[in-house]
Amino acid sequence: MTKPNSDNFSRSSNKTGLFKASNPDDLFMFRRCFSFTPEMLQWAREKILSEQEERTDLTEHQLEKNRCTLTFKYLPSFLNPAMAHHWCGTFHFIITDLCEFTLTVENGKAVTRKGLAGRASCVIKADMSGLCAQIHALVTQSADSHNADSHNAGSEYYSGRGSGVETAEGELTDSDLEMVAGGKKQIYTPADDLMNAATNSEKPSNDPFSENSSRKKHDLFP
């Protein structure tokens, strides 16, 4: 895997939203050690749906904050412990007007917590659309790796226990959203949208993020 140019990761773009990272080396390691395979996405979707209830009393801003919280809650599940065994890093994620989270990776384990804890080795400042664009890029590259590899060593992770996935290739950053579609209420999770991105499958016609939807596409936050 070729190490990407730092300009690809520390940037602010009007097309993809805000996404700035202070340490391209740590971000490169994130790409290597986190991956979104279809099996793990399915597992995450089931976990999310099992614990969520439909909510009709949330404002748009509250819905966005909820997506942030769930995304970072399940993010450690996508770590590949074998690839991250000798890597230690602390990420501070600052999502504009929504949330702040700390992701810590140490000796093959990852944990997230609310707030900015400890000394960060990499600070990521992003908005919804920027983070979403990064996660979709990660899903696409993970899908390519998934199709190219035999995955002989990864099946143990699909039980849903612990954290990790079988491949390690991927372009950064998110996974945990509860979204209510118009009319009849229907829950959309990050895994739903990530799986659609990874498989290029069509979304249902009532998808709130379709071209004809009143919602903006950058609201889609895996």
Would strands 88-95 and 122-126 be described as parallel, antiparallel, or unpaired? parallel
Note whether residue 142 is domain-resident. yes
For residues 75 and 84, what is the distance between their CA atoms, to the nearest angstrom? 14
Q: In what order do the strands lie in the sheet with 88-95?
A: 11-13, 17-21, 122-126, 88-95, 99-106, 109-114
Low-confidence stretches of the chain (pLDDT < 70) are 1-16, 48-56, 144-222
Q: pTM for the full model?
A: 0.61
**Is 5 within the bounds of a domain?**
no
Residue 147 included in any domain: yes
3-state class (DSSP) for residue 209:
coil
- Whole-number pLDDT of residue 153: 47
pLDDT at 42: 81
Cα atoms in the 13 Å half-sphere on the side-chain side of 28: 11
- 10 found inside a domain: no
Angle at 91 between CA 40 and CA 178, to 5 degrees: 45
Residue 8 resides in a domain? no
Kindly tell me the burial class for residue 205, based on how many C-beta atoms sit within 10 Å of its own C-beta (0-12, 13-18, 19 or more).
exposed
User: How many folded domains does the chain comprise?
Assistant: 1
User: Which domain does 30 fall in, by range?
Assistant: 15-219
Evaluate whether residue 92 is within a structural domain.
yes
Residue 184 belongs to a domain: yes
Residue 3 maps to a domain:
no
